[in-house]
Amino acid sequence: MPSGLTVGDNLAQLWRHFSLEYELFRSVPGWVPRVVAYEVKCVLVEHLHEDMRRARALRERIADFGVFAPERRIDPGLANLVRHLLQAPFDGALVGALYRVLKVEQAAAYRRHLDGTLRLNDAPTVAAVEDHLPKLDRQIAWAKALLEGPALPTELGRQVDAFEDEIRNHLAALGGILAPLAARGRSGVTGGSSIAELEASLAGAAAMPAEEIAELTENARAAAAAAAGPAGASGPAPAIPEYPAYVRPRLMALEPRFRRQGADRQHDEPWKEDILAVAAYTHFTELPVIDICAAIVYDGRDLDGLGADRGGEEAGEPAPPPEDPEEAARLAAATETYARAVARAQEQRARGAGLKGETAAAGAGGRRTELPFEFYCDFLRQTWDEVRHSRMGFERLQALGIDPYAVAIPMGHYAVWGNMHLRDRIASLTQVGEACSFKGKREWVAAAHERGEWLSALEHDYDMVDEKNHVRFGARWLPEILNRLADARSPEEVVQDADWTFRRRINAAKRDLGEAWKEVLGNKFLGCGTQTSDVTLAPEIIA
């Protein structure tokens, strides 16, 4: 057999690698809230972020072949395999099957791809794969050491092995990551084997909707698979059940050695007068924000199904108009300023290019309720950033002599944000919680400088670099989501409503847990400058 993959076979292989990577990096985040161990949660997210970058590199290479949105035509068998993975009985089994089965197979498949392709002709593929293989190998080594160590008692270890076998058998029944291609020999993805045929099929790819290109290649792949016959020579392939969509938990898991706490952050620890300790604590307790962001990634596939509002008790009424004339005048001015800002933003949008690129792309074939590729990239990046912020706080607490396992972790943030509509989570978290956090942080950096706490100052300096991006992510995706939901409200109105819902729900959670709550919650959000919302992820400044 002559050496060197054909262009068609190469594209088909790249597409299968990509299919599995894409489904994994946007699905496994749905499991992050169920991962108990802090260290494992953090490393898993860091790895998912690496995986996303690998998927992006593959996608970029696939675009060279004229296919610009390969995610619109994901192999359904691989998508079902990933849904099966998400049925893992507990987090150790998920980690085992992901790293000791799927990632091991992926690394082997990438190596086979490198062995099979021409290093010069196909150098862009070689570069994309070789850039990322060492990271994948390190991930596999990490999980191997973790699971071989004392992480699991023997009985749970057996259950991990059993689930790994299940996933291994499922993949084998599919014929492996690249098997359908190997089984059908050297016929090209477009139905022929020559470059000329591929070029003819994809001619004018720029003008041809990605959907049609996908259609074309999928039909050819189905025909090739049928010609190759069922996997395994001895009889029909075992039937693979169709696995249901995984649904995230309503509450986040937490290591038992952490101290859990009811709803919001409570600064009633013995060190509450130490501004540095309070700031580090606040940063560390972005731990639930990791889970909230991971939930945003996962639910992006299904805006009005998985991403729908799952309800929650609400408590607290708006404040009556202030009696004090000065206060009433201040509120009236803030209301007017906010209304002017809303009008300005709407005018700007009306003057803009109309539909955003993403919405236009959705019209060309994507599902309305499934957000596009870049959405998962943005919010997975945010999830990783929150891991870093929480870890920075963890380290600073230790440096200040405070045991992070002795402080109280607020459980209400995930319980409330995690169950609100995806639209409202993004609106409230990014446009209020994060957008309004900068003032407090700047003041805090100044205080750290005064005390000569250089590392504490840098902790928040770097945090602010990230948080500005998170506010941008929200501003980018909120209008897009509103378009897709045909929600006629302006983003600013949605932000105001979502903030109000969040405040009422966390207020009810506090009430139910016997913590301090309010019957009158104050005024609706009128911008960061007005202090009308107490939702902020900034550390409090203690005077």
Burial 515-539 (b: 16+ CB within 10 A, else e): bebeeebebbbbbbebebbebbbbb
Angle between helices 7-27 and 210-228 (to 10 degrees): 100
Q: Name the residue nearer to Fe ion (CB basis): 22 or 298.
A: 298
CA distance 380 to 297: 6
If DSSP codes are grouped into helix, strand and coil, which group holds residue 261? Answer: strand
CA distance 396 to 390: 10
389 in contact with Fe ion (CB under 5 A): yes
**Token code pair at residue 210:** 């990605």
Interface stretch with Fe ion, choices 60-68, 78-86, 236-244, 380-388 (CB under 5 A): 380-388
Residue with tokens 């929150």: 386
Beta-bridge partner residues of 409: 260
Angle between helices 154-174 and 76-85 (to 10 degrees): 170
Q: Which helix (H) or strand (E) holds 58?
A: helix 38-64
Beta-bridge partner residues of 522: 318
User: Cβ of residue 376: shortest distance to Fe ion, in angstroms?
Assistant: 17
Q: Name the residue nearer to Fe ion (CB basis): 314 or 534.
A: 534
**Taking CB under 5 A as the criterion, which residues in 200-229 touch Fe ion?**
none
User: Cβ of residue 452: shortest distance to Fe ion, in angstroms?
Assistant: 25
425 in contact with Fe ion (CB under 5 A): no
Beta-bridge partner residues of 410: 261
User: Cβ of residue 378: shortest distance to Fe ion, in angstroms?
Assistant: 12
Burial of 472 (0-12, 13-18, 19+ CB in 10 A): middle
504 in contact with Fe ion (CB under 5 A): no
Interface stretch with Fe ion, choices 85-93, 133-141, 387-395, 528-536 (CB under 5 A): 387-395
CA distance 235 to 207: 44
CA distance 87 to 247: 10
Interface stretch with Fe ion, choices 206-214, 282-290, 316-324, 351-359 (CB under 5 A): 282-290
Cβ–Cβ under 8 Å, residues 110 and 57: no
User: Cβ of residue 317: shortest distance to Fe ion, in angstroms?
Assistant: 30
**Taking CB under 5 A as the criterion, which residues in 290-349 touch Fe ion?**
none
470 in contact with Fe ion (CB under 5 A): yes
Cβ–Cβ under 8 Å, residues 88 and 99: no
User: Cβ of residue 31: shortest distance to Fe ion, in angstroms?
Assistant: 21
Interface stretch with Fe ion, choices 56-64, 135-143, 315-323, 434-442 (CB under 5 A): 434-442
User: Cβ of residue 515: shortest distance to Fe ion, in angstroms?
Assistant: 23
Q: Name the residue nearer to Fe ion (CB basis): 460 or 503.
A: 460
Q: Name the residue nearer to Fe ion (CB basis): 467 or 480.
A: 467
CA distance 318 to 243: 45
Interface stretch with Fe ion, choices 85-93, 127-135, 427-435, 509-517 (CB under 5 A): 427-435
Q: Name the residue nearer to Fe ion (CB basis): 51 or 386.
A: 386
Question: What pairing do the DSSP bridges indicate for beta strands 520-522 and 408-410?
Answer: unpaired
Q: Name the residue nearer to Fe ion (CB basis): 15 or 379.
A: 379
Interface stretch with Fe ion, choices 68-76, 95-103, 408-416, 430-438 (CB under 5 A): 430-438
User: Cβ of residue 415: shortest distance to Fe ion, in angstroms?
Assistant: 19
User: Cβ of residue 118: shortest distance to Fe ion, in angstroms?
Assistant: 44
Interface stretch with Fe ion, choices 129-137, 284-292, 368-376, 417-425 (CB under 5 A): 284-292
Interface stretch with Fe ion, choices 85-93, 168-176, 209-217, 280-288 (CB under 5 A): 280-288
What is the maximum span of the chain, computed from C-alpha positions, in angstroms? 89
Q: Name the residue nearer to Fe ion (CB basis): 171 or 426.
A: 426
510 in contact with Fe ion (CB under 5 A): no
Query: What is the residue type of 438?
Result: F
388 in contact with Fe ion (CB under 5 A): no
Q: Which helix (H) or strand (E) holds 317?
A: strand 317-318
CA distance 288 to 252: 8
User: Cβ of residue 382: shortest distance to Fe ion, in angstroms?
Assistant: 6
User: Cβ of residue 397: shortest distance to Fe ion, in angstroms?
Assistant: 15
DSSP 3: S
CA distance 538 to 302: 31
> Hey, CA dihedral for 513, 516, 519, 524, is it positive or negative?
negative
User: Cβ of residue 390: shortest distance to Fe ion, in angstroms?
Assistant: 8
Q: Name the residue nearer to Fe ion (CB basis): 58 or 397.
A: 397
| CA neighbor of 21 nearest in space, from 70, 50, 55, 49 | 55
CA distance 366 to 386: 30
Interface stretch with Fe ion, choices 144-152, 242-250, 296-304, 467-475 (CB under 5 A): 467-475
Size of the site for Fe ion (CB under 5 A): 6
17 in contact with Fe ion (CB under 5 A): no
Q: Name the residue nearer to Fe ion (CB basis): 66 or 393.
A: 393
User: Cβ of residue 219: shortest distance to Fe ion, in angstroms?
Assistant: 44
Q: Name the residue nearer to Fe ion (CB basis): 56 or 389.
A: 389
**Taking CB under 5 A as the criterion, which residues in 136-195 touch Fe ion?**
none
381 in contact with Fe ion (CB under 5 A): no
User: Cβ of residue 543: shortest distance to Fe ion, in angstroms?
Assistant: 24
Binding site for Fe ion (CB under 5 A): 286, 386, 389, 434, 467, 470
